[in-house]
Amino acid sequence: MTLQVRNLVKHFGGVHAVQGVSFELQVGECVALIGPNGAGKSTCFACIAGQHRLTRGEVLWAGERIDRLDPAQRLARGVARTFQVAQTFEALTVLQNVQLLLQAPRGLAAWNVLDTVQLDAAQALLAQVGLQAVAQADVLGLPYGAKKRLELAMALAGVMGEIKSAGPRLLLLDEPAAGLAGPERADLMALVKSLAHAKADARAGVAVLYTEHNMDAVFGVADRVLVLIDGQIAAQGSPHEIAQNETVRTRYLGRAGHAALSDRAGGGGR
């Protein structure tokens, strides 16, 4: 297993956000972390990527303890995350955003012309996320769906650009399709899945862990599902198993707004 989270505990004062979470993840897997608002999903991500210190527990990546490292050190080992709200440089073009991330570990000197650095690699990443056509557009005027795609390309660029990281990559995607609806949402989730399933050897492959707060972004996307409720893993299994799970049905899926999704799960998903 490439990512090992062991007994992760995170308290914010008296708020017990994460209460002893353990799970593992392999390169090539696309795993969904689902659960109601406030369950502790984003907090888990912040503990794995380094924005928060753990209260207790361990996080291992490729056999190494990373839970005492800062986010930049974790990035250098191939661990990157995105945030619930898209974070991009709006005054730059789409292409320049990716070039900047690719060049970041090498440092950008005053005499570098951004437009020429890492050009081929940046264009390849834009092709991977379907943004070649808007490469020269300023991010400011970009539709929201394209911004979310750009964010994925930037997360990939963040770990691909690292000189030190020749090994596996972990992408932690916090609600990658937040704010999107319908076909745009389905397309983005298909892209998320393709990032983990892209042909690569195990050493250089990508593991994807993404959060969601409902099931429509889980069926046909996730290989495996972890259900977080009140800071604890309440269930885990295949999307189909999770949809049938009694605890999940009563404590999460059964809540108002999720009834239709349980029906879909009964039909085997999409």
Question: Given the complex with ligand ADP, which of 39 and 95 has the nearer CB atom?
Answer: 39
Number of residues that bind Mg ion (CB under 5 A): 2
Contacts of 210 (CB under 8 A, 6+ apart): 30, 31, 32, 33, 172, 173, 174, 175, 176, 192, 222
Query: Cα 258 from chain centroid?
Result: 23
What is the helix (H) or strand (E) element at residue 22, kind and residue range? strand 15-25
- Of 37, 109, 182, 270, the one binding ligand ADP (CB under 6 A) is 37
Contacts of 117 (CB under 8 A, 6+ apart): 99, 102, 103, 108
Q: Is 15 in the site for ligand ADP (CB under 6 A)?
A: yes
Rounded CA separation 129/65 (Å):
31
Which of 129, 133, 244, 150 is closest to 193 using CA atoms?
129
Question: Given the complex with ligand ADP, which of 17 and 160 has the nearer CB atom?
Answer: 17
- Of 8, 32, 34, 39, the one binding ligand ADP (CB under 6 A) is 39
Residue 13, both tokens: 């004062």
Q: Positive or negative, the Cα torsion across 53, 57, 61, 66?
A: positive
Question: Given the complex with ligand ADP, which of 197 and 213 has the nearer CB atom?
Answer: 213
How far apart are CB 222 and ligand ADP at their closest, in Å? 16
- Of 41, 147, 148, 185, the one binding ligand ADP (CB under 6 A) is 41
Question: Given the complex with ligand ADP, which of 14 and 182 has the nearer CB atom?
Answer: 14
- Of 3, 5, 31, 43, the one binding ligand ADP (CB under 6 A) is 43
Q: Which residue carries 């292409």 as its tokens?
A: 95
Q: Is 42 in the site for Mg ion (CB under 5 A)?
A: yes
Contact 21, 228 (CB under 8 A): yes
- Of 22, 38, 72, 115, the one binding ligand ADP (CB under 6 A) is 38
Question: Given the complex with Mg ion, which of 41 and 52 has the nearer CB atom?
Answer: 41
How far apart are CB 77 and ligand ADP at their closest, in Å? 23
Chain positions contacting ligand ADP, by CB under 6 A: 12, 15, 17, 35, 37-43
